[in-house]
């Protein structure tokens, strides 16, 4: 998918208002998604879970093993999902509702020394 098409991507759902959410990521995830940041249009009232589902539908097997535990919808323990800089663990988890202008970050935890 080209960067132009991706930047204009949207979750197509009829009958509801649409909001824009900016997605940020780094490292391998950036390579899979084709860019460090981009904006998507999603249905008002969508959750982090909805957005992640759309991302898996869009990038499929390239993305899924880097986000989720095998044969599960649980996020890998070294991945942090943030909405406006706040870890979703301290919000409503994957049920956190997204709002127009939100920034959603997918960050692998780096360790080393």
Residue 4 resides in a domain: no
pLDDT of residue 112: 62
Domain that includes residue 93, residue range: 16-108
Residue 5 resides in a domain: no
pLDDT of residue 15: 65
pLDDT of residue 16: 76
pLDDT of residue 80: 96
- 48 φ, ψ (degrees, to nearest 5): -55, -40
Query: What total number of domains does the chain contain?
Result: 1
Residue 67 resides in a domain: yes
Rounded to a whole number, what is the distance in angstroms from the first to the last CA of the chain?
A: 36
Residue 6 resides in a domain: no
Structure confidence by residue, pLDDT tens digits, 50-106:
999 999 999 988 999 999 998 888 999 999 999 999 999 999 999 999 999 999 999
């Amino acid at each position: 998918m080209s960067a132009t098409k991706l930047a204009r991507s949207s979750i197509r759902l009829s009958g509801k208002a649409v909001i824009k959410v900016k997605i940020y990521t780094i490292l391998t995830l950036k390579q899979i998604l084709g860019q460090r940041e981009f904006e998507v249009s999603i249905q008002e009232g969508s959750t982090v879970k909805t957005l992640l589902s759309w991302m898996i539908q869009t990038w499929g097997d390239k993305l899924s093993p880097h986000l989720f535990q095998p044969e599960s919808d649980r996020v890998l323990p070294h991945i942090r999902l943030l909405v406006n800089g706040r870890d979703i663990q301290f919000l409503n988890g994957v049920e956190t509702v997204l709002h127009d202008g939100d920034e959603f970050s997918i960050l692998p935890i780096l360790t080393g020394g």
